[in-house]
Amino acid sequence: MGENRPLLVELPITVKTYDIDFANIVHNIVYMRWLEDLRIEILEQTYPVAEMLRDGIGPILTRTELDHLWPARYGDMVVGRMWVSNLSRVRWTVQGEIEANRRTAVSATQTGYFTDLQTFRPIRMPQRFLAQWQDASL
């Protein structure tokens, strides 16, 4: 891999019959679900969602860019990877990729922020999340 991928997570993915269309190609919306699973996995390893919610904080997704490079199909060996590529005072960016049979099927970039669940206003990056990202970025 060579490049720095702070807070990298990797999950095996099983393509289900309901994930594909009549041409045996994974639906576009399924990639969004898989990316959500990967984002949640990053949070579970840094600032678990249950704790975040108890603290009155929620992660908000504001933008997703997908580049479809190769079709994933039923029966393929699929793996998803995601890492936090950038953090600012308020915003975060994650990069992700979904591989099918060791070939990149989708490359993704997502941005978002954390919000106060009472006011629904953006908040500063939670210190716990920021510290773990900084440690992983060294």
Domains annotated for the chain, with CATH where assigned, are: 9-132 (3.10.129.10)
Note the pLDDT of residue 3: 78
Q: What is the pLDDT along the chain (138 residues), one digit of tens a residue?
A: 447 899 999 999 999 999 999 999 999 999 999 999 999 999 999 999 999 999 999 999 999 999 999 999 999 999 999 999 999 999 999 999 999 999 999 999 999 999 999 999 999 999 999 999 999 987
Structure tokens at 9: 């997570």
Per-residue confidence (pLDDT) for residue 97, from 0 to 100: 98
On whether the CB atoms of residues 116 and 100 are closer than 8 A, the answer is no
pLDDT of residue 98: 98
Structure tokens, 5: 């991928």
What pLDDT does 138 receive?
Answer: 79
Q: Where are any strands of DSSP class E within the chain? A: 9-13, 57-68, 78-87, 91-100, 103-116
- 3-class SS of residue 122: strand
pTM of the model: 0.93
